[in-house]
Amino acid sequence: MSDHQDAVLEVNHVHRDDVGARMGMWLFLLTEVLLFGGLFLVYAVYRYQYPDQFRIAGMELNTSIGTLNTIILLTSSLTVAISIAAIQKGNKLLSVIMLSLTLVMAFMFLVNKFFEWETKFSHGIIPGSKEMTSKPNGQILFYGLYFVMTGLHALHVIIGMIILAFMLVFVIRNKITEGNYVKLENSGLYWHLVDLIWIFLFPLFYLVQ
């Protein structure tokens, strides 16, 4: 950085502190974990209360789409990680390709999710609908939680895509470089969190029966 830039930064009170930036990100991720933690708590309470109906309702879900989405999301975490490693080594092209692949996979995840929800809707499984409220309480709760938790997760996927799209632009415009990649690193952390939450959602809804 030139002296001139230093002076401007100084007056703006903005300084560069990569360790601090990472620390802030981890603290933010902790709040995200606690946010979903509240939902997992609710899930645990109702699963304990209505074990049989949770099992019946869980069998309705499409395990193959769930598995496919798990594979997609895990792979997208790998590509983000490679993208960060690439920029650290100064390989901009590889970083751009990997980030783009991540975005494509995130999109694929959402498309699958859309079709999955669509199928549920076409079977009348819509929160608050007549068909839904006529089901036993445990099943209402299972689907309620299913829509809320996967919905909130999908929202996080969308936010993650927006962040990663910005990072892609930054890498292309050399705002994120070999010597200054903490933004990309933090976005990667966020993406891993989105992945992590899914890793818990998947067995709770699709596998445990």
Partner 1 sequence: MANGTIAMTDLPVPKAEKSFFEQSTNKHSGILSWLLTTDHKRIGLMYMFGIISFFLVGAIIGLLMRLELLSPGGKIFSAQTYNSLFTLHGVIMIFLFIIPGIPAIFGNFFLPIQIGARDVAFPRLNLLSWYVYIVGAILALTSLFLPGGPIDTGWTFYIPYSVRSGSNVSLAIFAAFILGFSSILTGINFVTTTHRLRAPGMSFFKMPLFVWATYATAWIQIIATPVIAITILLVIIERAFGVGIFDPALGGDPVLYQHMFWIYSHPAVYIMILPAMGVVSEIIPTFARRTIFGYKQIAYSSLAIAFIGYLVWGHHMFSSGQSDTSNWIFSLLTFLVALPSGVKIFNWVATMYKGSIDPQPPFLWVMSFIVLFSIGGLTGLVLGALATDIHLTDTYFVVAHFHYVMFGGTGTIFIAAFHYWFPKMFGKMYNLKFAKIAVVTYFIGFNMLYFPKFIMGYLGMPRRYYDYLPMYTPYQRISTYGSWILVSTLFFIVGYFIHAYFRGKKATSNPWGGVTLEWHIPSPPPVENFKVIPVITHDPYDFSQLKEMKDE
List residues binding partner 1 (CB under 8 A): 6-7, 10-21, 23-24, 27-28, 30-32, 34-39, 41-42, 45-46, 49-50, 127-128, 133, 136-138, 140-141, 143-145, 147-148, 152
Minimum Å gap between C-beta 64 and partner 1 is 26
**Cβ neighbours, 10 Å, residue 166:** 14
3-class DSSP state for residue 90? coil
DSSP string, 4-51: HHHHHHHHTT----HHHHHHHHHHHHHHHHHHHHHHHHHHHHHHHH-H
Tell me whether residue 28 or residue 107 sits nearer to partner 1 (CB atom): 28
DSSP string, 44-74: HHHHHH-HHHHHHHHHTS-HHHHHHHHHHHH
First-to-last C-alpha distance (Å) of the chain: 58
State both tokens at 194: 């989105």
Alpha-carbon distance of 25 to 32, in angstroms, equals: 11
Alpha-carbon distance of 186 to 29, in angstroms, equals: 10
Alpha-carbon distance of 149 to 145, in angstroms, equals: 6
Minimum Å gap between C-beta 179 and partner 1 is 12
Tell me whether residue 19 or residue 93 sits nearer to partner 1 (CB atom): 19
Tell me whether residue 49 or residue 67 sits nearer to partner 1 (CB atom): 49
What is the biggest distance separating any 2 CA atoms in the chain, rounded to whole angstroms? 70
